[in-house]
Amino acid sequence: MSTTLESAPAAARPQQGRYRSTKVRRQRVRAAWTFLAPMLVALTLVAGWPLLRTFYFSFTDATLSDLSNVFFVGLENYLVYDDGQWYGVLADPIWWRAVWNTAYFSVVSVSLEVVFGIIVALILNAEFKGRTFVRAAVLIPWAIPTIVSAQMWAWMLNDQFGIINQILMALGIIGAPIAWTADASYSMWAVIMVDVWKTTPFVALLALAALQMLPKDCYEAAEVDGIHPVTVFFKVTLPLITPALMVAVIFRLLDALRVFDVIYVLTSNSTSTMSMSIYARQQLVEFQDVGYGSAASTLLFLIIALATIAYLYLGRNRLNLGGDA
Amino acid sequence: MTSRQFNKLATRLGFWLLVAFVVVIAVFPFYYAVITSFKPSSDLFRVELWPSTWSLANYVQVFTQRSFIQAIFNSILIATSVVFIALLLGITASYALGRVRFRGRSTVLLVILGVSMFPQVAVLSGLFEVIRALNLYNNPGGLILSYTIFTLPFTVWVLTTFMKQLPMELEEAAIMDGATPWITITKVFLPLMWPAMATTGLLAFIAAWNEFLFALTFTLTDSQRTVPVAIALLSGGSAYELPWGPIMAASVVVTVPLVILVIIFQRRIVSGLTAGAVKG
């Protein structure tokens, strides 16, 4: 409480306590809900209600051309045993391939982004001439639309005329051009490379913000004691920035689990790189099977929800939702 | 030269090499797109770091396509409207969440965080139905509506952290003068929140400008496309030979404004991105 209130009329009537328990407080709480209402209505319209409808559609035989006249089919879209054969999303090997692809993509690309992000953050944290310029340069991949960066890389990775094949061949690393985006054994790596290029800046910025909040004195102490900088990094810096890195990791992981556009542009609907989002959208839009596609979307939602809940549970002490205003 | 001096020099050299490497990796793909876009189609398939002949043919081809100009117009209209709506709803909501203590506040914050983690594809079929029911399919209105799903939670979240940092005394003075919460927001907080609103508005603009999945699904005809979809769907006469020159020209056209924005506002963008995560 500040001095402003001490001299206020509310203080003259101590039996009513601080202004928080008075008419002003009630007015403020009412205003708060009034102000929240438009946002809550908007979120219900674009997020809550559509999500419920997706759950509902996943138990029906809805098609894209006819969403109103649908029959309830129970769990048939998920899993059904019919005539000695299993059907449904959970029995589809392509779905499981998509789950595996998404998990592989998420783990590998986020790990690489964290490693490179820390390196870039350490560079940007050093004092040197032209730091602002380097920071702007590093931000460029982040600002470029994913679609555009996918096209730019598709051009550089072009099998016949791409610069990457030319460089690798000139250096004698490969003997013949590689079809990066078409060859199943390379296409996932092409996708990961583009994603790492595009999102490392985000991780680097979060790591940099954490680095800049570190206390200076332990570094001075380490320098006086003559401890090697690498040891200082692993024993002091890394443990101190881990909480901030965990936030970056969870943001990136949740983003990577729903990956769509980079894969769609680079490799289209090829099975070797298909993610869960691509699978669900293909069923929904291209095959017009809203029921089946909704079942896949629901499963993706559950996977991401479980990941989020697990994170919130494990890190609930860390994530402060702000008890104080 | 002592070994100590030598070590110091080697470290410095290594550091600068690392800096150069990072800058080249970050900038080169964009640079290569720019020089490709200025090549005449006869030189397109010759790999070189500096074009031997310059040509504007690719840009002429892109800008004579009516659908591409229309796509730029659609993207500007959609991104601007999305920013306006997100800021309008976001500033009032963030006042409630950042300045007032009330029951259910943490729940609302948790819901907002939850929505921002949403996989977009999970609402695709439901949102498709909503958009068709509102008669907004294949219409910029449908995209403006659907983009609030990711811009609004983010805007509210970041503005709330900024709102919390403003001093309590300001608001108390306003309350003592008998100002209603609406007056408090518009007369006291709004002038102070401009920097934060510029930051979040910029980030929301970039997010809406770059969105792809909804734009691809909720539009049907070329005249209603946004820029990312127009670029992704650019294809030449044959399915096997993509028109790389025009694709790169179009990519450069839509990216240059963003790159300029980033260079001008890099400090703001950095603070906005980190406020959304670190302080959250």
Residues of A in contact with B44 (CB under 8 A): 161
CB A153 within 8 A of CB B248: no
Structural domains in chain B, sorted by start: 3-57 (no CATH), 65-277 (1.10.3720.10)
CB count within 10 Å of CB A310 equals 11
**Per-residue model confidence (pLDDT) at position A13:** 44
Residue tagged 């590998």 (tokens): A108
**Per-residue model confidence (pLDDT) at position A318:** 52
> If contacts are CB pairs under 8 Å, which of residues 174-233 in chain A contact chain B?
197, 201-202, 205-206, 208-210
Per-residue pLDDT of A87-97, as tens digits, reads 888 989 999 99
Q: A304 and B119: CB-CB below 8 Å?
A: yes
CA dihedral B155, B157, B160, B161 (to 10 degrees): -120
Percent of chain A with pLDDT over 90: 34
B251 phi, psi to nearest 5 deg? -60, -45
| Whether pLDDT at A6 is above 50 | no
- Reference B71, options A145, A85, A295; nearest CA is A145
**Per-residue model confidence (pLDDT) at position A257:** 92
Beta partners for A66?
A63
Q: Which residues neighbour A295 within 8 Å (Cβ) at sequence distance 6 or greater?
A: A58, A77, A78, A88, A89
DSSP B123: G
Judge whether B87 is closer than 8 Å to chain A, CB to CB.
Answer: no
**Per-residue model confidence (pLDDT) at position B277:** 59
Residues of B in contact with A20 (CB under 8 A): 101
Q: B32 and A210: CB-CB below 8 Å?
A: no
CATH architecture for residues A92-286: Orthogonal Bundle (1.10)
Residues of B in contact with A196 (CB under 8 A): none
**Per-residue model confidence (pLDDT) at position A201:** 92
A87 phi, psi to nearest 5 deg? -125, 170
**Residue of A3, A23, A33, A35 to mutate for B, most B C-beta atoms under 10 A:** A35
Closest in A134, A148, A254 to B231, CB measured: A148
Judge whether A11 is closer than 8 Å to chain B, CB to CB.
Answer: no
CB count within 10 Å of CB B72 equals 17
Judge whether A138 is closer than 8 Å to chain B, CB to CB.
Answer: yes
Residue of B nearest to A275 (CA): B121
Residue of A nearest to B205 (CA): A143
**Per-residue model confidence (pLDDT) at position B141:** 93
| Whether pLDDT at A315 is above 90 | no
Split at pLDDT 50, 70, 90, the class of A103 is: very high
Angle at B233 between CA A199 and CA A177, to 5 degrees: 65
Q: A51 and B126: CB-CB below 8 Å?
A: yes
Closest in A43, A140, A301 to B152, CB measured: A43
Residue of A nearest to B271 (CA): A209
User: Nearest C-alpha of chain B: how many angstroms from A83?
Assistant: 30
What are the residue boundaries of the structural domains of chain A, listed by start?
3-57, 92-286
Q: A149 and B117: CB-CB below 8 Å?
A: no
Residues of A in contact with B146 (CB under 8 A): 46
Judge whether A144 is closer than 8 Å to chain B, CB to CB.
Answer: yes
**Per-residue model confidence (pLDDT) at position B74:** 94
**Per-residue model confidence (pLDDT) at position A321:** 46
**Per-residue model confidence (pLDDT) at position B165:** 84
User: Nearest C-alpha of chain A: how many angstroms from B240?
Assistant: 12
Per-residue pLDDT of A196-248, as tens digits, reads 999 999 999 889 988 888 888 878 888 888 888 888 888 888 888 888 888 88
Beta partners for A81?
A86
Distances (CA, A) of B232 to A146, A186, A230, B168, B255: 10, 21, 45, 49, 14
Per-residue pLDDT of A72-90, as tens digits, reads 888 888 988 888 888 888 9
Give the pLDDT mean for A102-111. Answer: 95
Give the pLDDT mean for A63-69. Answer: 80
| Whether pLDDT at A15 is above 50 | no
Q: A319 and B280: CB-CB below 8 Å?
A: yes
Q: A140 and B262: CB-CB below 8 Å?
A: yes
| pLDDT tens-digit profile, chain B (280 residues) | 678 888 888 888 999 999 999 999 999 999 999 999 998 888 777 888 888 888 888 899 888 888 899 999 999 999 999 999 999 999 989 989 988 888 888 889 888 888 887 788 999 999 999 999 999 999 999 999 999 998 999 899 889 888 888 888 888 888 888 888 888 888 888 888 888 888 889 889 989 999 999 999 999 888 899 999 998 887 654 456 678 888 999 999 999 888 888 888 888 888 777 776 544 3
**Per-residue model confidence (pLDDT) at position A10:** 41
Q: B180 and A264: CB-CB below 8 Å?
A: no
Distances (CA, A) of A283 to A45, A66, A269, B124, B221: 24, 15, 11, 12, 21
**Per-residue model confidence (pLDDT) at position B241:** 66
Return d(Cα B259, Cα B265) in angstroms, integer. Answer: 10
> If contacts are CB pairs under 8 Å, which of residues 193-222 in chain B contact chain A?
206, 209-210, 212-213, 216-217
User: Nearest C-alpha of chain A: how many angstroms from B210?
Assistant: 5
Q: A143 and B258: CB-CB below 8 Å?
A: yes
Q: A301 and B119: CB-CB below 8 Å?
A: yes
**Per-residue model confidence (pLDDT) at position B235:** 64
Structure tokens that stand for A106 in this block: 């998420």
CA dihedral A287, A292, A297, A303 (to 10 degrees): -140
Q: A35 and B30: CB-CB below 8 Å?
A: no
Per-residue pLDDT of A161-178, as tens digits, reads 888 988 898 888 888 888
Q: Can you give the pTM of this predicted structure?
A: 0.86
Judge whether B4 is closer than 8 Å to chain A, CB to CB.
Answer: no
> If contacts are CB pairs under 8 Å, which of residues 77-116 in chain A contact chain B?
none
Judge whether B262 is closer than 8 Å to chain A, CB to CB.
Answer: yes
Split at pLDDT 50, 70, 90, the class of A7 is: very low
For A85-93, the CB contacts below 8 A with 24+ separation are A88/A292, A88/A295, A89/A292, A89/A295, A89/A296, A89/A299, A90/A299
